[in-house]
Amino acid sequence: MNIQQYLLKSFKKYNDNNALFTYNKYYTYNQLAELSCKIADTILYIKYIKQPVIIMGSKSFYTHAAICGTIIAGSYYIPLNEIFPLERNMNIIKLSNAKILLLDYTDFAHYDDILNNIHNYNIICPEEHYEYLSSKFTNHNFYTPKDYNNKLLDAEKDDAVYMLFTSGSTGVPKGIKISNLNISSYIQAFIKRNSITNQDKLMQMNDLTFDLSIHSIFLSFICGACLYIPDSNNKINPNKFIISHKITHILMVPSTLAIMKKLRLLKSNVFQSVKYIGFCGETLPFDNAILIAEAAPNAKLENIYGPTEATIACTYFEFNKNTKELPEYAGSMPIGKAYDGMEVFLIDENLNIINTGIGQIVLSGKQLAKGYINNEVQTKAKFIKIDNKDCYLTGDLGRWVNGELVFLGRNDAQVQIKGYRVELYEIENAISKIENIVSNAVIPTPVNSITYENLTAFITVKDDNIDTYQIKSILSQTLPDYMVPNTYIVLDNMPLNSNGKIDRNQLKNMLQ
């Protein structure tokens, strides 16, 4: 079944059940169905084809109906992000080729900058915003969601459901279209492992431009569960939100877990209601993972892994408080085995499949996108055939340990220093073991050159009185000299990007 059919089926079946809780209000499946279908009808009224539709919103009921409505129209959605710089949002609009935009201006800061920078777009907005917007922005055509009795266009399995952009190394984002086949395969594989019922409550704390949001939104609406969106303040400390709403399913980035640990919230048995917690998006430190196992005693826990190019995630590793840490895990939780419908393997530099040692993680199967929509060079470089199978080269490194895949950092974190091949990950791992160090990132210098001479370590510490000579001497005990950073910069805070990962570009800028 494709996502359009799944949604229409849920809308019929779950009627008065709650579909969404956001900004302190509940909305039923009937309410969601009514607005989504009107939005779908209005999209098809403006242009009766399957097409890209831009979403300008973040958490509101209208924004969620906009996502559903686009899919019900047989079209695909492209979210913008209010925290992106204007230039990046403009780039996404341009690259998407969309001419229709769905806007809830109360749900998207600085929307006016964007509307002033584009012209002649067809904008569908809530009825109560129409008068204000159409008088203020005379450079656009405004519509409100209405019934026009258009026949829906049926989505086919290869039609896109959404398109997301990942940062390209040249600064131009790369667009990835995810099809009905891709996302249906993800959902079927996930539901086969983890049950979700219409009594469940899924928390969705990720930006719409990050595909972890898609996991929660679609699994919730397809299974008839209720989707809970914490406001941005509650995202810092989701503790109370989880307990008071009796949340059952959560997908979070490990940084959120790190914050909960810092705030002393991971006490034994505090999250009794939770049945499932998945971690995705960055390395999950083993010791933090064990703390959550004790805090959520009834939860099934999974570390899941995958790039946007392969639809949200495509490997999983189930763990519990008794999971034993092996030295080969390098301090992190393994990423495990492939989802149903997917294959994962490791290759060496000559594209040969290897079963021992460190190799690049390669993915193949139903969840793979077809390539980047606007970057043929990168598509050819990353989407290749191995053994006559369509594969995606992730650029991530891994190793098999007892049949489970262990993630070992980015391939491009491998650099040449003074002629030696150096894994930045290995150095960061060594630094993280030093007492008093909270987080760290190692950047090869001079930045933006091809050959590097030295390494700079950015660190955050618990106690300000840190002696960098001491760090050097500790590192020298485990690392060869050429791997020991020569410069140490103590930061008050590690800069994070919108997905909660360490922002290496910001660190590089500090060195320029």
Partner 1 sequence: MDSRNIKEIIFKIFAENNINIDNINEDDSLIAKGILDSMTFVNILLAIEEELNIEIDFENIDINSIVTINSLCDAVSKITN
Nearer to partner 1, 92 or 265 (CB): 265
CA dist 262 and 493 (Å) reads: 14
Q: Does 24 bind partner 1 (CB under 8 A)?
A: no
Q: Taking the complex as a whole, how short is the minimal distance between the CB of residue 85 and partner 1, in angstroms?
A: 11
What would the two tokens of residue 262 be?
């810092």
**Number of residues this chain uses to bind partner 1 (CB under 8 A):** 26
Report in angstroms how near the CB of residue 270 gets to partner 1 at its nearest.
8
Q: Provide CB contacts within 8 A for 138, sequence distance 6+.
A: none
**Which residues in 231-250 contact partner 1 (CB under 8 A)?**
231-237, 239-240
What is the dihedral sign for C-alpha 290, 291, 296, 302? negative
Establish if 509 lies at the interface with partner 1 (CB under 8 A).
no
Stretch that binds partner 1, among 191-199, 261-269, 273-281, 338-346 (CB under 8 A): 261-269
Rule CB under 8 A: say whether 47 interacts with partner 1: no
264 binds partner 1 (CB under 8 A): yes
Helices (H), 356-406: 376-382
Q: Is the distance from CB of 292 to CB of 254 less than 8 angstroms?
A: no
Residues between 282 and 341 that touch partner 1 (CB under 8 A): none
- Asked if residues 269 and 297 have their Cβ atoms less than 8 Å apart, the reply is yes
Smaller CB separation from partner 1, 274 or 368:
274
With binding defined as CB under 8 A, does residue 466 bind partner 1? no
> Exposed (0-12), middle (13-18) or buried (19+): which is 451, by Cβ within 10 Å?
exposed
Which one among 259, 347, 351, 511 touches partner 1, defined by CB under 8 A? 259
| Beta-sheet pairing, 342-347 with 414-417 | unpaired
- Residues 286, 301: Cα–Cα separation, whole Å: 13
Q: Strand, helix or coil at 422? A: strand
Write the interaction track for partner 1 spanning residues 109-128; mark x where CB under 8 A is met and - where it is not: x-------------------
Residues 195-234 that bind partner 1 (CB under 8 A): 231-234
Helix then strand count (H, E) for the chain reads 16, 27
Taking the complex as a whole, how short is the minimal distance between the CB of residue 307 and partner 1, in angstroms?
23
Neighbouring-strand partners of residue 266: none
- Of the candidate spans 35-43, 167-175, 255-263, 447-455, the one that interacts with partner 1 by CB under 8 A turns out to be 255-263
Contact status, residue 82 vs residue 207, Cβ threshold 8 Å: no
**Which parts of this chain interact with partner 1 (CB under 8 A)?**
83, 109, 231-237, 239-240, 255, 258-259, 262-265, 267, 270, 460, 492-494, 496, 500
